Every structure is written in C-alpha cells, then in structure tokens.
Structure 1
C-alpha cells in the first residue's frame, strides 16, 4: 500500500495554461539566443557544420558552431535546427546559411570553415558564393610591425587592417570543407 502523502489528494499540480507555457518557451528561447550571441561575440574564430535531412516529406537544416575556449576546451552550440521549405537548390541553401550566420553576427572573416557532406547543392553553393582564397588578403604581421617605428603608426595600421577591404566579402559563405567521413 502507498504512503498516504503520496496519494493524489495531497499532490496539487497546477498545469500552466497553453498561452502561459507558450510565452515561457518564447522567453526562454530569446534568453538562450542572447546568451549564445554574447558568447560568440567574444570568440575570435569558429567553425560551423551544416546538414540537411528529410523525414516524411519535411526537410530540416541543422547548423552547429564549434570553437576553442581560452582554456583550450572545445565548445559547441546549435545555431539552427529549423524547417527547410522548398527545393534544396544551391542558391536557396546559400540564402538560408547567410541568414543564420547574420542572425548570430558571423561572417566569412570569423568562420574559419563550414563542414558539409558532399551533396551537390552544398558543393555548388560554396563554389559560387563561397570565399575563394584569392579573395583574402594575407598580411605578414612581422613585416608590418618592423616597418612601423612608433606605437602610433602601429595602432593606425591595425585600425586599417580590421576594416574589410570589400564590404561584399562579409556576405560570402565561409571556406568550405567536405566531411572526411563522406569523402573517399
């Protein structure tokens, strides 16, 4: 026989109303997104992974982001796990990836690479809209520092180098890497 305190007459649960529960979920979601944005703003470089899958005529896209913390521990969060409506064309895929990256203030300068499978839509999206290594100006910081004789000169050149040379580069997809598990 059960203990009398465990009987249902002593337990009073108040189930939240649907509307209240909906608000709580929305508030919790916004708080989590804000926390993720804040944490990512303090990270210098990240790597994303992208995947699309289908289930019963519904498609989804998942985008986790990975980085290494200052204490050299790995960290990851999910940026997106959302419906992908419509066809999986390369241009539509590029558009969705750019929207997700923009939502979290990530650009091709901060994302070191995006890892995907060998799907032709991913490959073509990154071939057409992705960063090409020829688009990136590599700076030899040692030569730049030696050429500068005063701290004022150094700080001025640092300011110049942090500005993107071409604002359109910020809208490019990052460097593309194919997952080694899917590559022969």
Structure 2
C-alpha cells in the first residue's frame, strides 16, 4: 500500500533522479533535432507520465539550458582532442536551399584521436552565408571557425573543397602565401584540395 502512495510523489526538483531524467530528455531532444517546445506538448507529457509518474517534465527554457550545457561540455571534449592531434584536415562545402532562400557553409575536421587510437570526423560549424559567396567571405568564415576551435594554421595539412571558382580562389591566396616554390608547380587539375 505504501509503495503505491510513494509512486505518485514527484521527485524533488534538485534530486539526482530528476536531474538524470531531465538530462536524458535533453540528450534525446538534441540528438533527434526535435524543437525544445516538444517537452511542453500534451502528448509528450502524457507519455512521460506513463513512463515515470514521479518525473516532472522540464519546461522548454530549462531544457534549452541543459542542451546548451551539454553542447559546451562536448565542445570542450572535442577541442581537447583536436589540441592533442598532430595534424588536421579541413573539409568545406556550401549548400543552398531550394529557391535560393538561404545558403550554409559547413566546415568539418578529420584528425587522429590519440586517446582512442582512431580517426574521427566531426562537424565544426554550419553557418548561414549571405550572397554573394565570395572567396573573401568563405575564407573569413573558415578562419573564424578554426580560431573558435583552436586549430592553428600550422596544424592544417589540407583543405578539401569542391572545384567552385570561389573555393579555388579562397584557398589559392592562402596557398600562395604559405607554400614553397615546388608546390606552385602542381597541376591545375589538383584544385580540389590545397596543402599548407
């Protein structure tokens, strides 16, 4: 009889059980790209009540804060891995929505994770770009990204892009500034990657 009574008493807001379950919901929302307002949906609340009557489903503001905290913790972890890596390859691409309503620049990094002894590929940034997609705007966004993630130029061994004239132009300037004379003589059909 007492077990049934206690099964309806909510977890204390600062209890470990409440916190663990809130973090699990936040991780689910973040990894599935559901909007934070999902937790305020009546059907979601009913489902969570059936799973655990003692849980108080967090409001979207609290959930957003939890997702932000998790993101920052993961970012620190990956920044440390990048800092320990000897070399990094950067990959870049631009996507435009149908109707040309918005464009996005994706910057990713490939490196060897020395802690786990394996290669890793992570998305560093996905930033909205304004038109026109000039070489200067591309290189500015890439430099902001590598600075944010603590990746010095000396550590970047290669930048992989498509053969778009804006991409080639963006990194051709970098190549001329930092490469030796022997790299200047490479064939023109090698424009899809650039060595530093």
Q: Taking CA–CA contacts closer than 8 Å with sequence separation of 6 or more, which of the two structures ends up with the larger relative contact order?
A: 1
Could you tell me whether the CA contact under 8 Å between 1:94 and 1:125 is conserved in 2?
Answer: yes
Could you tell me whether the CA contact under 8 Å between 2:108 and 2:123 is conserved in 1?
Answer: yes
CA RMSD of aligned residues (A): 2.7
Choose between structure 1 and 2: higher helix proportion: 2
Paired with 1:105 and 1:53, the residues of 2 have a C-alpha distance of 25
The CA deviation string for residues 18-63 of structure 1, in whole angstroms up to 9 with x for no partner, is 2111111111111111111111111111111100101141111111
Corresponding residue number in structure 2 for 1:51: 93
1:31-180 matched pairs, under 5 angstroms: 31-56=73-98, 57-70=101-114, 73-130=118-175, 131-134=177-180, 178=192
Could you tell me whether the CA contact under 8 Å between 1:91 and 1:125 is conserved in 2?
Answer: yes
How many equivalent residue pairs? 134
Could you tell me whether the CA contact under 8 Å between 2:112 and 2:120 is conserved in 1?
Answer: yes
Corresponding residue number in structure 2 for 1:22: 64
The CA deviation string for residues 63-87 of structure 1, in whole angstroms up to 9 with x for no partner, is 1111134475321211112222342
Paired with 2:181 and 2:128, the residues of 1 have a C-alpha distance of 32
Q: How high is the TM-score relative to the length of structure 1?
A: 0.64
* Structure 2 unaligned blocks of 5 or more: 1-45, 183-189
For the residue of structure 2 that corresponds to 1:109, the secondary structure is helix
Paired with 2:121 and 2:136, the residues of 1 have a C-alpha distance of 27
Corresponding residue number in structure 1 for 2:13: none
Q: How high is the TM-score relative to the length of structure 2?
A: 0.60
- For residues 105 and 123 of structure 1, do their structure 2 counterparts lie closer, same or farther at Cα, with a shift above 3 Å needed? same
Superposition deviation, residue 135 in structure 1: 8.2
Paired with 2:120 and 2:110, the residues of 1 have a C-alpha distance of 6
* Structure 1 unaligned blocks of 5 or more: 1-6, 137-175, 180-184
For the residue of structure 1 that corresponds to 2:125, the secondary structure is strand
